[in-house]
Amino acid sequence: MIETLGRTALAVVGELGDFTLFAGRSLASAVGSRKLGRRIMRALYEQGVRCLPVILIVGVFTGLVLGLQGYYVLSRYGSTSVLGELVSLTLVRELAPVLAALMLVGQAGSALAAELGIQRNSEQIDALETMGASPHAYLIAPRIIAAAVSFPVQTAFFSLIGIWGGYLSGSLLLPLQGGIYWASVHAAVGWPDLRECLLKAVVFGLLTIAICAHNGYNTHRRSRATGARAVSASTTRAVVVSCIAVLAADYLITSLLVRS
């Protein structure tokens, strides 16, 4: 029992160390890398433009539900006038960064892990190494750098469309006046809330894309599966670990910011 616990703990520490080195080496490899800008633009398109419809759909429904639930709870206390505050702060501080990150992990992160896994299996990553090219600079760094840009933008879109969803619920489907809703939003959201939102989005972006890349890149190290099964296992693990990391990082950042 103790031996198993110890072995597991050592494996986790080893994996964390390996991941940290992987992420650090990837970011360091970007320095002086040729045509990095073009590869970042391609990654921005994949992680940003292609994921935007999902972000908008999930965002609007989240806002609709928040508006609906919030209105009925607040109406018990005669406080429906603060519906805008409730919806906007819930979204900006918590739900938009977390849900947008989970959606991006599901779409862009899983695609990245699978793509790298297939590239590993078909020796494309080995081919880069034999050419003397850095797979970290070519394949990983552009994705991580793009995530630091695309996640905050996606989170901003999520927040905006979600707040608009809250307005749809509260003022078009329910009897709250639109002016009261928007005045409440305007009064509630301040710079510290936006800073928290953007900070979380950047951290979640860097963390999840690095985790997905690490899992896909190391597909060949899976001892229990090979070939397509290894790619499938890497992709599943990438998504699960990324989701857990988002929630854990959210708690850590929130607790740090609340105390400060």
Partner 1 sequence: MTAPATEFLLDVRGVAKRFGEHPVLTGADLLVPRGSVVAVLGKSGTGKSVFLKCLAGIVTPDAGEIRFDGRVLDAGNASARAEFRRRCSYLFQSNALFDSLTALENVALPLESTTQVPNAEIRERSLEALRQLELDRHRDVHPAQLSGGMQKRLALARAIVTRPELVLFDEPTAGLDPLRRNSVFEMVAKYQRQFGFTAVLVTHDVPEALAVSDRIALLDAGRMRFQGTPAEFSRSDDPAVRSFRDSAAALRDTIAALRRGETLPSEEPS
Contacts to partner 1 by CB under 8 A:
34-35, 119, 122-124, 126-134, 137-138
- Closest distance of CB 116 from partner 1, Å: 12
Query: Helix, strand or coil for residue 34?
Result: coil
Closer to partner 1 at the Cβ: 122 or 255? 122
Paired tokens of 21:
């080195």
Q: Residue 30: CA atoms inside 13 Å, Cβ hemisphere, count?
A: 18
DSSP string, 182-233: HHHHHHH--HHHHHHHHHHHHHHHHHHHHHHHHHHHTGGG-SS--HHHHHHH
Closer to partner 1 at the Cβ: 93 or 143? 143
- Closest distance of CB 138 from partner 1, Å: 6
Closer to partner 1 at the Cβ: 132 or 179? 132
DSSP string, 72-135: HHHHHTT-GGGHHHHHHHIIIIIIHHHHHHHHHIIIIIHHHHHHHHHHHHTTHHHHHHHHT--H
- Closest distance of CB 128 from partner 1, Å: 7
**Of 25, 24, 43, 45, whose CA–CA distance to 35 is shortest?**
43
Closer to partner 1 at the Cβ: 119 or 155? 119
- Closest distance of CB 72 from partner 1, Å: 50
Closer to partner 1 at the Cβ: 12 or 127? 127
Closer to partner 1 at the Cβ: 82 or 133? 133
- Closest distance of CB 118 from partner 1, Å: 9
Distance of CA 106 to the CA centre of its chain: 9
- Closest distance of CB 123 from partner 1, Å: 4
